[in-house]
Structure 1
Amino acid sequence: MKLHVLLSSGAVALAQQVYLPVDGPASLLQCSRNGSYATAIPAHSFREFSFTQTETIRTATSRPAPTTTTTFAPNYSRLSSLVPNLTTTQWGNWDPASNATPTDAGVPYGNASWTALWTAIPWVNFTRGLYSTTVEPTPVPTSELVLPPPEPFGPETCYTFPKDFLLGVAASAVQIEGAVADEGRTPVHMDALSLFSPGRTDNFVANEHYYLYKQDIERIASMGIRYYRFSIPWSRILPFVLPGTPVNQQGLSHYDDLINLVLESGMLPAIVLHHTDTPIEFYPNVSSIIIEPDTGGIGYTDSGYHLSYENVSFEDAFVNYGKIVMAHFADRVPIWWTFNEPLLGARNGHSIDAVIKAHARLYHFYKSDIKGTGKISLTLNDNFGVPRDPSNDSDVDAATHFNAFQLATFGNPIFLGQDYPDAFKDSVSDHVPLTAEDLSYINGTADFFSIQPYTATVVSPPPTDTIADCAANISHPLRPYCVTQSTTTTTGWNIGYASQSYVYTTPTHFRTYLNYLYNTFRAPVAVTEFGFPVFAEDAKKQADREFDSPRSVYYQAYLSEGLKALWEDGVDWIGVFAWSWADNWEFGDYAQGFGLQTVNRTTMVRRYKKSFFEYVDFVEGRRQK
């Protein structure tokens, strides 16, 4: 048989996979060719038989309660002057089945005005969950914390993780919280997604984390996780969006309590300010949320970055919101992200301009005005583009173009102080040029490079024309990236094991990707989402869903390859956040379970999956003391 071995190198010029033809089976690269078993002949003998297997019972190690308190900025009482003249109020819940009618019509920002934001949208099958108030946690039974049987094969290296390596789990409010119309929250654009696809499930209930957060934090901390990464919805803090409108006291109190509980549980909070949840007020009509094909759009749904509301730009309104949240919580939060995967919500070049400049403004606010000592970034998406044939220059150029469009569009100005890449400028005719003054202000406004590398994509040029021809044609079917994307290599084999969705397990490419990012953008690299929905997991029995060996292998393989990048290639890889701590609303679907826990959609009961234990055990078992 023929075997093609995939190798990678940490050198800047060689940080790209190459294929080496090999005849016959692969040698055991991890074993010495001259070892005692290389030429020895096994000896055979009869002996007394007995069942010798042992069963070691281990339990997960919960995070210990903190003995000291670390602060990362002054508290709100000392920062309030940075966000002057704030007024707070609170609103009720909206229930379309209720006959109650607000009595304060005509009052600016009153309950009638708040309710009108919900009634203006033609909701279908609006649903409420089981809970209407915060549920107090119960201790996690020890029986649930017993580690499952280990996989028979494991990583073959003895590399360790640095003492300060970030081990976390991630989630976004729009995908887990539910309670979308409760306690003052107003609609966001993703709430309306089901209106455009009849039959798709909605996020009205999701995981009811808004009311179950205390139990969820207890369960996450019980597994030994160190960082909880979550998002705060803009519309739950500022229901009327704009500067000068009232701040929702219930929203502030909710996240204040959540943050304190994370800290009391021995973990640290890590906050995302925008995770696909733009307030609905920015949209002239709900249909404008969808980016239609062949219209020159960049992303899939419009996050409204290029829009204005009552003559206030998204950029200015978002910066105002970000300042309010940072001023209230910066004393206790060590890591911030301004945006999550903004490219996927960008309609045009003005969208990109607004994101980059809003991000830079909030970075300077945090560092210069708040004088925070924590870290800030924004997290990008790119299923790493690898050339279909690494020995073919055209394929390599196509992969370079693909990655540059998605990464260098943000990475060049933010990390390098350089202009947008040609891959972006050639395809997006309305991009806003960056001046020398812009680049000076934007340069260096991220403390680490944040990426979400779920998988890899096999890339080659367009089949019938060129990348340049595609870039010049607004209706070209391969826009915006103008390359051919595939899941198969030159051998005809898939790039990896296929999941329930688009994810193919590609751990070797993960190592190459870390090399690419670190050597291109010259900053420490954090993986803020990665995960894997096991194929047809939702159709399995509960016990089989919990015993998710393919996901366990995914995490161990990716982490093992990351260690090679760290130790063999010199990459400054600083941490990982698994997506997600529980199965959640994957933008219209609950069947694609990326989670480390199952969720019963009737009872909301969570149960640990095997992969949760393996994920934590892999890192903590190798962490330097």
Structure 2
Amino acid sequence: MNTKFPKNFLWGGATAANQVEGAWDLNGKGPNLADAMVAGSHKVERKITLDINEDKYYYPSHVAIDHYHYYKEDIKLMAEMGYKVYRMSIGWARIFPNGDEEKPNQEGLKFYKEIFKELKKYNIEPLVTIYHNEMPLNLVKIGGWSNRKVIDYYVNFAKFVLNEYKDDVTYWIPFNEINDLTTGVGNWNHGGILNEGTETFQNQKDDPNKRFAALHNQFVASAKAVIIGREINKNFKFGTMICHITVYPLTPHPDDVLLTQQEDQLRNCFSGDVQIKGYYPYFMKNYFEKNNIKFECTDEDIKLIKEGVCDFYTFSYYMTNCITINKEVTQVSGNIMGGAKNPYLKATEWNWQIDPVGLRYTLNHVYDRYGVPIMITENGIGAKDVFENGEIHDDYRIDYYREHIKQMALAIEDGVDLVGYTPWTAIDVVSCSTGEMAKRYGFIYVDVDDKGKGTLKRYKKDSFYWYKDVISSNGEKL
């Protein structure tokens, strides 16, 4: 296959601070919402504890893979793979421990300065997510993003970070998977909302009014950060980040087709439209009215949203789901939301369906709607890796990536302006949904188990060497 990627294509990988850094209470860092999540599994729900009790529970993010102390080794390994770009996030509570301080924690600022210095050493471009599910726990206690005060606290944090690293970073993402607040499970991780009666991450109580207020507040905060950022450095580029829940109708029944369209509009197009086009789409006004959803939205908010649009579009893509009016069909899992089982697709051990062609479909769908440069900022497969004699033979991961990269090349051939790819993940991380280490995503294996036991030593998987060849050949050698 002739896979022609642009000459300056940004190959790389991605992580999030709360899933790799550890050092959860070191050098002035405050607790964030991830630090309050107990370990779980595919069968055991992750418990949320506002009062952190390490004597009673194991919290995976407290040590994670200790990237805080291993970052030089980790970045060196990324450089060995040939990374052009590294998508990472800045932990809010490492800079502002309570989230509402006026002055930042200097130790936190210094840590990220060192990260950027190390990336520059290897000519790796940082792509920085300002908010990646890392709200300081103190702000959760005032309602999280459903409280409008948090807009100002975030803007203060974003302004400081944008100014502090104005010479180190060009590409910024104000919010990770911002559209996850269109679902009830998005309350905690994405909105910092802990409704009364919620005990676990997977089974949350929901208040749509509060949740959509939180999403609106994030739209306003994002727009403000973009506007301020452009004043700080006119070369800054800002991207939206959508958890793309690509959906197909299970059958050609018109009701399935219509429901699929409505799901796509709500889950995917709504947030993209606000952040790229700069306004609330017509179908959401109808949705709010029909569902009696009300939240504070001022004329100034609408003005800011129009002014603070993003420059490029990024999204996560792991699988596709099917939609049907038939409630009796077999269901499958997914990233944030599941759906009806597609009879034509295989699934992972965690019941996520594998659909490379769906990525090409998604790229065309997104580019047709927005016409701006696109980056795929998350894509990958969670799997149990067998570690033997310092080796990990992960052919299943290589197969997954190979087929998805082929479809990326075909999308580029279709005319899509795809400029970058940062698979999830650069290195093994704590799984967000289950809190496991056994559900591994990285090209680099970290010797630590679901209980935090291990040497933390890093090992190169077979996929490490394969991806190195992909990057060096600019996608020609698959």
Structure 1 position 255 matched with structure 2 position 139: no
Structure 1 position 376 matched with structure 2 position 241: no
Pick the aligned partner of 1:486 from 336, 340, 359.
340
Q: Which moved more, 1:264-273 or 1:506-515?
A: 264-273
Which residue pairs with 1:305 in the alignment? Answer: 145
Quote the sequence identity (%). Answer: 24
Pick the aligned partner of 2:426 from 581, 591, 594.
581
Flag structure 2 segments of 5+ consecutive residues without an equivalent.
39-46, 50-55, 181-185, 192-209, 329-336, 449-453
Alpha-carbon spacing, 1:501–1:199, altered in 2? closer, same or farther (3 Å): farther
Structure 1 position 438 matched with structure 2 position 302: yes
1:50-89 maps to which residues of 2 (within 5 A)? none
CA drift of 1:382 comes to: 2.4
Which residue pairs with 1:93 in the alignment? Answer: none
Letter in 2 for 1:270: L
CA drift of 1:201 comes to: 4.8
Q: Which one scores higher on RCO, CA 8 angstroms, separation ≥ 6? A: 2
Which residue pairs with 2:220 in the alignment? Answer: 357
Structure 1 position 324 matched with structure 2 position 160: yes
SS at the partner of 1:191? helix
1:33-44 maps to which residues of 2 (within 5 A)? none
Alpha-carbon spacing, 1:502–1:420, altered in 2? closer, same or farther (3 Å): farther
Which residue pairs with 1:240 in the alignment? Answer: 98
Letter in 2 for 1:563: A
Distance of 1:556 and 1:507 partners within structure 2:
9
CA drift of 1:509 comes to: 0.9
Flag structure 1 segments of 5+ consecutive residues without an equivalent.
1-156, 289-303, 465-482
Letter in 1 for 2:341: T
Structure 1 position 173 matched with structure 2 position 36: no
SS at the partner of 1:574? strand
Query: How high is the TM-score relative to the length of structure 1?
Result: 0.63
Q: 1:38-64 CA deviation, whole Å, 9 max, x = no partner? A: xxxxxxxxxxxxxxxxxxxxxxxxxxx
SS at the partner of 1:247? coil
Structure 1 position 399 matched with structure 2 position 245: no
Distance of 2:395 and 2:409 partners within structure 1:
21
The structure with the largest helix share of the pair is 2
The answer to whether the 8 Å contact 1:419/1:439 transfers is no
Pick the aligned partner of 2:76 from 214, 218, 238.
218
Alpha-carbon spacing, 1:599–1:428, altered in 2? closer, same or farther (3 Å): farther
Q: 1:402-442 CA deviation, whole Å, 9 max, x = no partner? A: 12112222122222233245255344712455759715743
Distance of 2:48 and 2:176 partners within structure 1:
23
Which residue pairs with 1:598 in the alignment? Answer: 445
Distance of 2:338 and 2:111 partners within structure 1:
46
The answer to whether the 8 Å contact 1:404/1:421 transfers is no
Distance of 1:172 and 1:439 partners within structure 2:
31
Distance of 1:433 and 1:196 partners within structure 2:
30
SS at the partner of 1:337? strand
Distance of 1:248 and 1:548 partners within structure 2:
41
Structure 1 runs, 4 residues or longer, greater than 3 Å off:
195-201, 431-437
Alpha-carbon spacing, 1:510–1:307, altered in 2? closer, same or farther (3 Å): same
Which residue pairs with 2:462 in the alignment? Answer: 610
Alpha-carbon spacing, 1:266–1:440, altered in 2? closer, same or farther (3 Å): closer
Q: 1:308-359 CA deviation, whole Å, 9 max, x = no partner? A: 6xxxx11110000000001010212121111101323245111111110100
Which residue pairs with 2:34 in the alignment? Answer: 190
1:411-560 maps to which residues of 2 (within 5 A)? 411-422=272-283, 424-425=287-288, 426-427=290-291, 429-433=293-297, 435=299, 438=302, 441-442=305-306, 445-461=309-325, 463=327, 485-488=339-342, 493=343, 495-534=344-383, 536-537=384-385, 540-542=386-388, 546-560=392-406
Alpha-carbon spacing, 1:318–1:436, altered in 2? closer, same or farther (3 Å): closer
Q: 1:446-490 CA deviation, whole Å, 9 max, x = no partner? A: 1111100111111123649xxxxxxxxxxxxxxxxxx982122xx
The answer to whether the 8 Å contact 2:391/2:460 transfers is no
Alpha-carbon spacing, 1:418–1:458, altered in 2? closer, same or farther (3 Å): same
Alpha-carbon spacing, 1:502–1:305, altered in 2? closer, same or farther (3 Å): farther
SS at the partner of 1:190? helix
